[in-house]
């Protein structure tokens, strides 16, 4: 679909109208780390243990006190792509 077709389809559904720029600006954004973790149905402690991350680091990332550095961002991208394989590799388990 073209962008115009997508917008026309969205506007034709009265129950799912696109947000205005003002509404979008006021919307609460989900923290990236929390989004990854909740998609995996894991608590902070479970996520930290599964990927051998310090629990305090996961908490700091989610509360935006700190941000993941480049290697951590690469790890998070790998987790998004294939969480089970990454967990097994990090924990030294055979594939």
Encode pLDDT of 46-63 as tens digits. Answer: 999 999 999 999 999 999
pLDDT at 94: 66
Q: Which domains are assigned to the chain?
A: 29-90 (1.10.260.40)
Looking at every residue in the chain, the average pLDDT score rounds to 90
How much is the pTM? 0.69
The DSSP string of 51-93 is: TT--HHHHHHHHTTSS---HHHHHHHHHHHH-HHHHHHHHTT-
Q: What is the pLDDT of residues 61-71, one digit of tens each?
A: 999 999 999 99
Cα 66 from Cα 59, distance rounded (Å): 9
Residue 18 has pLDDT above 90, yes or no: no
pLDDT at 75: 96
Residue 83 has pLDDT above 90, yes or no: yes
C-alpha 15: how far from its chain's center? Answer: 26
């Amino acid at each position: 679909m073209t962008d115009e077709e997508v917008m026309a389809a969205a506007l034709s559904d009265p129950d799912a109208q696109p947000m205005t720029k003002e509404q979008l600006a006021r919307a609460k954004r989900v923290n990236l780390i929390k989004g990854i973790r909740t998609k995996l149905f894991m608590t902070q402690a479970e996520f930290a243990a599964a990927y051998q991350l310090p629990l305090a680091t996961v908490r700091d990332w989610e509360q935006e006190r700190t941000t993941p550095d480049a290697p951590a961002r690469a790890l998070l991208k790998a987790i998004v792509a294939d969480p089970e394989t990454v967990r097994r590799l990090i924990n030294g388990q055979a594939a």
